Amino acid sequence: MSVIGELATFVTSIKASALPAAEQERLRLHLTDTVLAALAGSSIPEGKALQRLGEARSLAERIGRCAATIRLTEIDDIHLQSCVTPSAGVVPVALLLAAQGATADSGEIASAIWAGTEIAARLGMAVSGPKILYRGIWPTYLVSPVAAAATAARLFGLDAQRTSHALSLAAMLTAGGVGHIHGAPSGRWFLYGQAIAGGVAAAEAARADYHGDPGLLDRDWLSETHGIALDTSRLTDKLGQGSVYSELSIKPFCSAKQGVAAVQAFSSIVQAEQIRADAISRVRVYVPPAYVGMLSTKVEPGSRQSTFVSVAHQIALCTLAPMQLFDVDRSAPAIDAAVAQLSAKVEVVPDKELEAFYPLHWPADVEVQSGSKTFRNRVIAAAGDPENPLLPSDIEEKGHRVLDALLGAERVDEWLLLCRDAFTGSAECGRLAAAFAKLCGNG
């Protein structure tokens, strides 16, 4: 059987109900986390503008814009070993197609979400996502068409043959490489939305009996066309025996994942030693060489994205305005003198010793100098990582911190209840899908 054929068999045959109870609960928690991100993204100017972009769009394009609205928040989940953020591009496909009548079966919806998430993470590992990221290839963007196609194919009820065509057509839509996009609104989100839309459209084409090339990944196609090596064993080894949900990370606040461990390590030091911001003379952040350049980014006026990437800015917020770590808007970041002053004291330094932990973990070692004393703390598994997972109560608290100012606490609680009940039955899942569709302008 071809590699794509094995993937198609997985997509069409798995049942989320067969997963261990702990993994089923993780699936639900990642659903909740993604819906919270959708609420946040739909409530801020950049997300609203993206959803309004264009007129008379197809269903696939509307789904893609909704996915991009989630991804731009930088509070969605991530699979570290693949460097892929899977749920942003899978959950909206499942919920919006369900709302359009693809299926009312909560078990099928959960299985479709698992299928897309699993394939996104495995494909990211198969192309060595953490390595190719720093070649200018965005792993999430690369895998998105195939993951979206897998999710849609399951919701459409396609058989294994048609699913093979859907996956191969989606694979031929992969791009991956993006330029150096600056400013706001960022074209990254437009590109990502188009990638998701392409995957949904590939499944629609396969449903209409359009054919692809199911043998595509058995050849050196990806290497020859994109210069990317593909380890097919990472795609198919023990496929269906457990899930990647035990490997996914959930972000505790809004940030590029590369900076989360550093912020946590710094916060632990200043809290334990009760160090005031004005008493800090220097901060050094040691990280694996791969992402030194990324975390050294300076905040650009009017660029929300730069505020999530700059670890100096994130560290300053952690001390001086911690609730701003949960602000997904930042469309016009107000950088006061104190934040700018503390940010200027932060230096990002490569540490080859930390390479031993990467990419299974994305660690940081932080050194804080205050007066004549120097304090140091290392974080390997940050809060939200598999070894240090967020509990349901933590995710609910995160939701309130992000959304209360945007929606009000009562409405946030209503959404949390919808997510909590989503997989208890088809009626409950249908209510969440309908509410989600309305949120994304598809109701």
- For 101-119, how does the pLDDT look when each residue is reduced to its tens digit (9 = 90+)? 877 799 999 999 999 999 9
Quick one: DSSP state of residue 298?
P
Q: Residues 139, 111: one domain? A: yes
Q: Residues 26, 89: one domain? A: yes
Its sign, for the CA torsion 93, 99, 103, 107, is positive
Nearest Cα residue to 46 out of 433, 308, 411? 308
d(CA 369, CA 166): 56
- C-alpha distances in Å from residue 87, one per residue of 149, 175, 225, 424: 14, 19, 27, 20
First to last CA, the chain: 41
Check pLDDT > 80 for residue 181.
Answer: no
Q: Residues 190, 207: one domain? A: yes
The pLDDT, as a whole number, for residue 374 is 95
Average pLDDT over residues 388-402: 97
Check pLDDT > 70 for residue 331.
Answer: no
Q: Residues 22, 127: one domain? A: yes
**373 contacts: CB under 8 Å, gap ≥ 6:** none
Q: Residues 64, 201: one domain? A: yes
Question: The CATH number of the domain where 197 resides is what?
Answer: 1.10.4100.10
The pLDDT, as a whole number, for residue 182 is 67
The pLDDT, as a whole number, for residue 55 is 65
The model's pTM is 0.94
Helices (H) and strands (E) in the chain, counts: 20, 6
Range of the domain at 308: 257-379
Q: Residues 96, 16: one domain? A: yes
Question: The CATH number of the domain where 341 resides is what?
Answer: 3.30.1330.120
Q: Are strands 373-379 and 248-249 parallel, antiparallel or unpaired?
A: unpaired
What's the structural domain count of the chain? 2
Q: What is the pLDDT of residues 182-201, one digit of tens each?
A: 666 777 899 999 999 999 99
Q: Residues 284, 146: one domain? A: no
343 in a domain, yes or no?
yes
Check if the beta carbon of residue 423 is closer than 8 Å to that of residue 432.
no
The pLDDT, as a whole number, for residue 136 is 87
**193 contacts: CB under 8 Å, gap ≥ 6:** 50, 61, 64, 65, 67, 68
Q: Residues 182, 203: one domain? A: yes
Q: What is the pLDDT of residues 20-66, one digit of tens each?
A: 999 999 999 999 999 999 999 999 998 888 888 876 578 999 999 99
